[in-house]
Amino acid sequence: MLIFAHEYERLVHEYERLVHEYQRLIHEYQRLVHEYQRLIHEYQRLVHEYERLIHEYQRLADEYERLVHEYQRLADEYERLSGEY
């Protein structure tokens, strides 16, 4: 009977160890899910920022193009006026 009690005690101890390990793994899983969600949020923020920068770049490129045309118009006007005098 003593051998049975000793084996039972060992099994209970092993069971408690496995429960503890299971709880640790659940905690680690929850931590990883949280980190994954944080990374998804950060990725979405970066995509949004990237899209904003693309729009800003396009706006600046359009403005640059407008200024180049305006400069060319003024240069042509200057040349025309210089030729008259």
Domain ranges of the chain: 1-85
For residue 6, the Cα-to-chain-centroid distance in whole angstroms is 55
Give pTM, 2 decimals.
Answer: 0.65
* pLDDT tens, residue by residue, 13-60: 999 999 999 999 999 999 999 999 999 999 999 999 999 999 999 999
Residue 5 in tokens: 């009690």
Cα(72)–Cα(65) distance, integer angstroms: 11
Sign of CA dihedral 30, 36, 38, 40: negative
Cα(82)–Cα(25) distance, integer angstroms: 83
- Sorted by sequence, the CB contacts under 8 Å of residue 77 that are 6+ apart come out as none
